[in-house]
């Protein structure tokens, strides 16, 4: 896509005498910058604002509403404030590693966006091992966190870093195994390839493909939550135990980077889940215009992913934190065996019904909707019982 576009530009002579490879490089950098500055930074920033407002609603508070209309620019103000703050580097810290850590974390986070699709045409690079690339790049974050924990020369930071390493390495296994179940069905690692094999309707999504993928979806969700250090698995930065975990000694712009990654990661988790299980950008074909379809697909993808971001905010506002032994028990004793069974089960399923089994898909879709319905019924029940007055309008 990008390559054809660049080829046409070179043929038109826009780049003049510049060699072909340099032109490609310029094009890649421009595309990367466009994604980073146009989307990644903004989505991280806006997510911080949205999270604060969502929490405020859940906790009967108002939330930030002063900077800009309804406080929508609060994240910019926060970011600017942190950028302008003095950065303190502890005297006893390993200064080089201390300065390096936030960049390692940020690189691991931003490079993951290369393979995350937005629509059938909008993707920085449709790598043929896309999903593997995303999981390995997000794992780079743990290296940065370890460096941060070690280099701070603070015991709380060190414990936070070690906890993060143990947690992310452990949960990588169930997450990867669950991702492989989808790859068994598709036979491709490319994110676009995975999405293209699904349809716009829920019955065509991989979550409802077989009972194993249905369970696999929840295993992936839990494992990715743990990998993203989100509540109830936010042990590395458990503020009531470890002060602030691996970010204890950070301040100013470097602190900002860690936060950027933390909130940006939410979107990545959502995007992975949507890509693998929930049909990605697949939208009903309502217009023949390529641009129109692409806008529709991008909107579908972002809205689906963002629903997960909101869900994770909700979880964080509700649940307490697990203890480190409970965290490991959950992973090694429950998630790992379940994901193994899923993996084998899906392999068998694909052997028996290579084209999918329509009946199971319909039944599972009905079950899925039943679950959502029951959930909404419980929510309504609790709202009635507590006599709470809810304001759904985000602007009130």
Footprint on this chain of another protein (rule: CB under 8 A) = 55, 58-61, 155-156, 159, 231-232, 234-235, 238-243, 316-326, 382, 385-388
Nearest Cα residue to 131 out of 88, 167, 184, 53: 184
How far, in whole angstroms, is CA 267 from its chain's centroid? 4
Please, what is the minimum distance in Å from the beta carbon of residue 134 to another protein? 28
Please, what is the minimum distance in Å from the beta carbon of residue 108 to another protein? 25
Nearer to another protein, 254 or 316 (CB): 316
Q: Sign of the C-alpha dihedral, residues 259, 265, 270, 274?
A: positive
- Residues in contact with 145: Cβ distance below 8 Å, sequence separation at least 6, in sequence order: 101, 105, 160, 161, 164, 165, 168, 236, 246
Nearer to another protein, 22 or 379 (CB): 379
How far, in whole angstroms, is CA 86 from its chain's centroid? 30
Nearer to another protein, 3 or 318 (CB): 318
d(CA 45, CA 223): 24
Nearer to another protein, 66 or 323 (CB): 323
Please, what is the minimum distance in Å from the beta carbon of residue 167 to another protein? 12
Return the biggest CA–CA distance within the chain: 73
d(CA 333, CA 310): 29
Please, what is the minimum distance in Å from the beta carbon of residue 91 to another protein? 13
Nearer to another protein, 21 or 325 (CB): 325
Please, what is the minimum distance in Å from the beta carbon of residue 109 to another protein? 24
Backbone phi, then psi, for 391, in 5-degree steps?
A: -110, 115
């Amino acid at each position: 896509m990008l390559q054809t576009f660049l080829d046409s530009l070179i043929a038109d002579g826009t780049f003049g005498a510049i060699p072909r490879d340099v032109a490609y490089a310029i094009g890649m950098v421009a595309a990367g910058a466009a994604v980073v500055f146009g989307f990644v930074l903004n989505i991280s920033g806006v997510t911080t604002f949205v999270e604060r407002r969502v929490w405020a609603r859940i906790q009967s508070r108002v939330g930030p509403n002063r900077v800009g209309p309804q406080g929508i620019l609060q994240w910019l103000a926060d970011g600017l404030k942190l950028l302008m703050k003095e950065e303190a580097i502890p005297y006893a810290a390993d200064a080089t590693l201390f300065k390096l850590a936030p960049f390692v974390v940020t690189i691991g986070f931003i490079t993951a966006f290369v393979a995350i699709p937005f629509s059938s045409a909008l993707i920085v690079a449709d790598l043929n091992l896309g999903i593997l690339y995303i999981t390995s790049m997000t794992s780079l974050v743990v290296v940065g966190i370890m460096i941060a924990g070690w280099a701070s020369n603070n015991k709380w930071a060190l414990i936070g870093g070690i906890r993060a390493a143990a947690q992310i390495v452990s949960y990588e296994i169930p997450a990867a195994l669950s991702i492989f179940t989808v790859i068994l069905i598709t036979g491709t690692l490319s994110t676009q390839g995975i999405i293209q094999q699904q349809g716009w309707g829920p019955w065509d999504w991989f979550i409802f493909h077989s009972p194993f993928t249905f369970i696999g979806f929840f295993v992936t969700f839990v494992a990715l939550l743990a990998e993203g250090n989100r509540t109830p698995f936010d042990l590395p930065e458990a503020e009531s135990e470890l002060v602030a975990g691996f970010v204890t000694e950070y301040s100013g712009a470097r602190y900002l980077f860690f936060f950027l990654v933390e909130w940006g990661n939410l979107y990545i988790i959502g995007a992975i889940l949507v890509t693998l299980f929930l049909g990605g950008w697949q939208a009903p074909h309502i217009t023949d215009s390529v641009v129109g379809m692409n806008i529709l697909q991008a909107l579908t993808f972002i809205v689906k992913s963002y629903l997960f971001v909101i869900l994770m905010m909700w979880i964080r506002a509700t649940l307490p934190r697990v203890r480190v032994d409970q965290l490991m028990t959950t992973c090694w004793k429950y998630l790992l065996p379940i994901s193994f069974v899923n993996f084998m089960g899906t392999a068998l399923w694909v052997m028996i019904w290579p084209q999918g089994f329509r009946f199971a898909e319909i039944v599972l879709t009905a079950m899925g909707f039943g679950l959502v319905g029951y959930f909404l019924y419980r929510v309504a029940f609790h709202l009635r019982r507590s006599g709470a007055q809810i304001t759904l309008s985000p602007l009130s």
